[in-house]
Amino acid sequence: MSDMVGELDDAELRSEIELVGDLVVAASQFDEHLPEDRIDEALGIERTSAHG
């Protein structure tokens, strides 16, 4: 085990790499700049509104 603060384990690294890969694939499906809500939609992420 390392003493480095913030070090990720293999499962966390794999998850991060998969998320970046999913984002690249989703973004490559569109020609225009994607706003955050379109990125979330493409990745299947649902955001809740802070305004109720």
Whether residue 2 is predicted with pLDDT greater than 70 in this model: the reply is no
> Would 2 be classed as within a structural domain?
no
Q: What angle do CA 41, 51, 32 make, to 5 degrees?
A: 30
The total number of structural domains that make up the chain: 1
Helix (H) or strand (E) holding 52: none
> Would 33 be classed as within a structural domain?
yes
Whether residue 3 is predicted with pLDDT greater than 60 in this model: the reply is no
Domain hosting residue 38, numbered range = 10-43
The pLDDT value recorded for residue 51 is 58
Q: How far apart are CA 32 and CA 34, in angstroms?
A: 6
> Would 49 be classed as within a structural domain?
no
The model's pLDDT over 17-52, given as tens digits with 9 standing for 90+, comes to 988 898 888 778 878 887 888 778 877 788 776 655
> Would 35 be classed as within a structural domain?
yes
Q: pTM of the full predicted structure?
A: 0.52
Cα 40 → chain centroid: 8
> Would 22 be classed as within a structural domain?
yes
> Would 50 be classed as within a structural domain?
no
